[in-house]
Structure 1
């Protein structure tokens, strides 16, 4: 660790990280991660949710309580797992707790899981409806007799004196969700392991959505998510954060990832047909051993993994900077803790693009 970085005062508002990336059984690790990220000068902490020990509301509160400058966003939680008044209250509380540094991030989630839980799968119409409800509540409105895609709610109200401006973002993978972001949301978080072409197509989809309602696409903050795993990280951990993570995504929604990236679907079929893959229980990035990850590496093409930032810290920093050439507004360095990102951040400071400086701390705002 260098003194340059530990003493950094220049906040890199265009860079973010995922706290407790992937599976975590130790949610308190978030406290040290957020403190370290703020010390490094990272601009935003993103909080994902898993229905085990990663409740987004609890973790958001912890992140807000131990930080002063860093932006905080859920990326993502699902609107259908909480009543709208509960979600609205969580967001308002976070907004005031952080002095306006919080953005509420929503996502589509997994249809299969929702069906198993007895919940209806999330649609774009539902998201658009609930976004409208939340914004009305934050402006002090009383909503009576609502009957829309998000559900039937006889009475919704927080406080008539509210006049809150809380950004809402969405974690998006498919074209329709990206267009939705352009139409009615403040920011969008793309997906890990996106090729350059996929990032470009995603930006075009956001722009189409914005223009369809007469909106300037530049009003939407777009975060690329780049797995950033330098060779300073031990090899077994690198395998987990690259091969293990991508293999887990292929387990859950491989067809969509292949389609978005224009990858060969035959490779995905061979991956799924593998005896080990078929018989594995759980997520690879949580349960697989090093030997099992090495086997998975034989099933995944090098060009698929090349959509991440690997190599020396400078090579990783160069990969981060190249994302801005594609047109994104921010880059989330996924898969590594702030401590593991220290050298990458040092290297990035030397090549930091001028065009992406001085963005707001709130990850859902462009101005």
Structure 2
């Protein structure tokens, strides 16, 4: 493919940010956010998907159309809520549209949502099958009689002239040890969830590297992205909605919350008490999008302070928390819970303590 854009010229290739972080009713806000992220020199813009006004294909296309250098990353979409040929086409189109700036991040989905839609939660075998199938389709291969964990497909093909294989990094959103080792075995990168402690990031990196080594791959080629909820100089409402509400919503989610608790080494009994509390049990919908401020104040009392390994405070404090994640072993760091306009003031402090020699030793910017 010609006219591939060199994204390594970004000022901070190791930094990314989520666009439309959390709940939104105005997806057009993404346009100003991605322009601002690019102007600040961030290497990547990440787009999460929700089934309301945050459909991945639309948002990726919009972000690519109004930028020139920043990498546009799906982070993440499910592997089995679209037919695989449609997902392959979304990625091929986004890659060509953006000049090779697109990366596809996928995950297994949330069990309760998948059950309500009548869609099975993806297994590790399905994720591995998906990764192999995408790369074959992106290479223009004609796939006959595919029988795998992902499904049975008599014939799949995009176009003979496609050469996107190797140009579209494929990343996995992963929590547990088995998923992290799977990512090391057959993905190009890993997206860790928000609220991983520094110790949890280190353990996750070890799992990814082990998976790569067992598969005979170069462990340094599989890039690990940490994610840090960040709010600089927040007032009470912003802190409650961006930090407390976000964590509380994660704790609502069956299975995912248990994985988060386990990898951080936290007390599972606290989670049981949290879910049993009337203010949580009576919540109709995700806490981050439905709770009042008074409810969030009550919910905060149910969660231990150490369960918020986030970047909260003045610019210097936030910058140090970012740096801590790199010291823990992350190759890249995704800023969550804030827009570029909100975290811009942290960048001069980060510039002051940024370990450029350490980052240079990690090779090319993370996928």
Bin for the TM-score computed over the shorter chain: over 0.9
Q: State the match for 1:334 in structure 2.
A: 336
Distance in 2 between residues matched to 1:88 and 1:264, nearest whole Å: 41
Is residue 170–residue 188 contact of structure 2 (8 Å, CA) maintained in 1? yes
Q: State the match for 2:190 in structure 1.
A: 188
* Secondary structure, aligned partner of 2:140: coil
Q: Which runs of 5+ in 2 are unaligned?
A: 1-8
Distance in 2 between residues matched to 1:162 and 1:43, nearest whole Å: 26
Query: Number of paired residues?
Result: 353
Return the TM-score normalized by structure 2: 0.94
Superposed CA deviations along residues 276-311 of structure 1, whole A, max 9, x for unmatched, are 111011111111111111111111111111x11111
Measure how far apart 1:360 and its partner are: 4.8
Is residue 111–residue 122 contact of structure 1 (8 Å, CA) maintained in 2? no
Q: State the match for 1:250 in structure 2.
A: 251
Point out 4+ residue stretches in structure 1 off by more than 6 angstroms. Answer: none
Is residue 10–residue 43 contact of structure 2 (8 Å, CA) maintained in 1? no
Measure how far apart 1:10 and its partner are: 5.4
Q: State the match for 1:294 in structure 2.
A: 297
Q: State the match for 2:240 in structure 1.
A: 239
Superposed CA deviations along residues 233-271 of structure 1, whole A, max 9, x for unmatched, are 332011111110000000003222111111011211111
Measure how far apart 1:359 and its partner are: 6.0
Q: State the match for 2:274 in structure 1.
A: 271
Is residue 141–residue 160 contact of structure 1 (8 Å, CA) maintained in 2? yes
Superposed CA deviations along residues 208-234 of structure 1, whole A, max 9, x for unmatched, are 110111112101011000111111x33
* Secondary structure, aligned partner of 2:76: coil
Is residue 179–residue 208 contact of structure 1 (8 Å, CA) maintained in 2? yes
Superposed CA deviations along residues 77-128 of structure 1, whole A, max 9, x for unmatched, are 0110111111111101111111111101100111221121111111111111
Aligned counterpart in structure 2 of residue 309 of structure 1, from 302, 308, 311: 311
1:262 aligns with 2:265: yes
| 1:82-97 → structure 2 map (5 Å cutoff) | 82-97=82-97
Measure how far apart 1:339 and its partner are: 0.3
Return the TM-score normalized by structure 1: 0.94
Greater displacement, 237-246 / 160-169: 160-169
Superposed CA deviations along residues 303-329 of structure 1, whole A, max 9, x for unmatched, are 111x11111111100110121111110
Q: Which runs of 5+ in 1 are unaligned?
A: 1-8
Superposed CA deviations along residues 26-62 of structure 1, whole A, max 9, x for unmatched, are 1101001001111111111111111111101110101
Q: State the match for 1:284 in structure 2.
A: 287
* Secondary structure, aligned partner of 2:341: coil
Superposed CA deviations along residues 309-353 of structure 1, whole A, max 9, x for unmatched, are 111111100110121111110000110000000111121112211
| 1:1-367 → structure 2 map (5 Å cutoff) | 11-164=11-164, 165=166, 166-231=168-233, 233-252=234-253, 253-305=256-308, 307-354=309-356, 355-357=358-360, 360=364, 363-364=366-367
Distance in 2 between residues matched to 1:196 and 1:154, nearest whole Å: 46
Structure ranking higher on relative contact order (CA contacts 8 Å, 6+ apart): 1
